[in-house]
Amino acid sequence: MTSHPSPTGMPALDDLLAGLHVVSIPMRVRFRGVEVREAALLHGPSGWGEFSPFLEYQPPEASRWLSAAIEAAYGAWPAPRRTHVPVNATVPAVAPDRVPGVLARFDGATTAKVKVAERGQSVQDDVDRVAAVRDALGPAGRIRVDANGGWSVQQATEALRRLSAYGLEYAEQPCASVEELRDLRVALARSGIDVLVAADESIRKAEDPIRVARLEAADLVVVKVAPLGGVHRALAVVEACRLPAVVSSALDTSVGMSAGVALAAALPDLDHACGLGTVALLEGDVVDPPLEPRGGVLPVGRVQADESLLERWAAPADRVRWWRERVSSCHALLDDATVIP
């Protein structure tokens, strides 16, 4: 794996906590079970960084997110290769009649990622949702589906057989394990189903994110800055996989989103729209104006948190204490070797 050294080192815990702001922002639409998004924002000499692992993540996994936030607030990102990054719309597991309203929040996006395999819903629900997206985007629009590992190989094969009628760009993490992704690619090829397979959780939640490439388990990789430990580390993973990459987000505020944009801007090749438009799914943001797509693209560059918005969305005192303890627990797992690739 190529090393991308970052000039950041390990700041003291007291320094991190001194520049910590915790926000709690409601979602416009329930997404991945999340109705209110909480995030801890760090302020350092380089600017703002976001630490927002989902609440169920334990310190060993969440510490990578803190590494990414430290890189943003105290370090430097790779030089950009482009000034703007194309983004996709994100359609949660909503009823078909809500699809046009969701898509309207993503100004100019011609690609949509559609959530499927939602617990309690059927494949027919997925088909109806994807059909509504196709109607809204027209024949030239690109559609990708994201199952978050919710299908078995057999279920994925049958579901993608039906969904492929609507012209899929790819299916993101249709099955949970790397072995299942590999077997699904074989099953799709044997069945004559022309759908590419993208790995997401098998990259960002894996101890060995390169294993996907070694087992030929995916046609593309979906990379997220925070779970991989920062922009430099994520860029190194993409280089090692030697597969086309799509940069995505994790329901970040504009602060976290700017790190994803920095990664997408640094990639040697960027052939797919990125999943970096999800600020539109939040009721508010910490940046004014928020980092939302205009004309289907996002500008490259750092953003500044707005003090009035930090106050507007400030989390209750008990949640601030919880996040401070979480930062402390994760900080104890990091050192210069883990923060600096």
pTM tops 0.85:
yes
Residues annotated in the binding site, as ranges?
Answer: 146, 172, 200
**305: helix, strand or coil:** coil
Q: What's the CATH fold of domain 13-75+308-339?
A: Enolase-like; domain 1 (3.30.390)
338, two tokens: 């883990």
**Quick one: what percent of the chain has pLDDT higher than 90?**
87
pLDDT score of 276 more than 80: yes
Q: At 6, is the pLDDT very low, low, confident or very high (cuts 50, 70, 90)?
A: very low
Residues annotated in the binding site for Mg(2+), as ranges?
Answer: 146, 172, 200
What CA dihedral angle connects 160, 208, 2 and 213, to 10 degrees? -30
104, two tokens: 């309207």
- On whether the CB atoms of residues 198 and 219 are closer than 8 A, the answer is yes
pLDDT of residue 105: 86
pLDDT of residue 54: 94
**Quick one: what percent of the chain has pLDDT higher than 70?**
95
Mean pLDDT of 316-340: 88
pLDDT score of 48 more than 60: yes
Residues 6+ away with beta carbon under 8 Å from 141? 110, 111, 112, 133, 134
Mean pLDDT of 303-321: 98
**DSSP per-residue letters across 82-121:** -SEEEB-EEE-S--GGGHHHHHHTSTT--EEEEE---TT-
Q: Which of 110-119, 134-143, 152-161, 198-207 is least confident?
A: 198-207
| Catalytic residue ranges | 115, 224
CA distance 221 to 252: 20
Task: Note if the bond before 289 is cis, omega within 30 degrees.
Answer: yes
pLDDT in tens, 127-186: 999 999 999 999 999 999 999 999 999 999 999 999 999 999 999 999 999 999 999 999
CA angle 243, 245, 251 (to 5 degrees): 150
DSSP structural state of residue 151: B
The rounded mean pLDDT for the chain is 93
CA distance 287 to 304: 6
What residue has token string 């900080």? Answer: 331
Q: At 2, is the pLDDT very low, low, confident or very high (cuts 50, 70, 90)?
A: very low
Residues 6+ away with beta carbon under 8 Å from 271? 244
Q: At 341, is the pLDDT very low, low, confident or very high (cuts 50, 70, 90)?
A: very low
Q: Which of 96-100, 147-151, 152-156, 337-341 is least confident?
A: 337-341
Domain boundaries, the chain: 13-75+308-339, 84-306
CA distance 93 to 119: 10
3-class SS shares of the chain: helix, strand, coil, % to 5: 40, 20, 40
pLDDT of residue 64: 95
Q: What's the CATH fold of domain 84-306?
A: TIM Barrel (3.20.20)
Q: At 337, is the pLDDT very low, low, confident or very high (cuts 50, 70, 90)?
A: low
pLDDT score of 207 more than 80: no
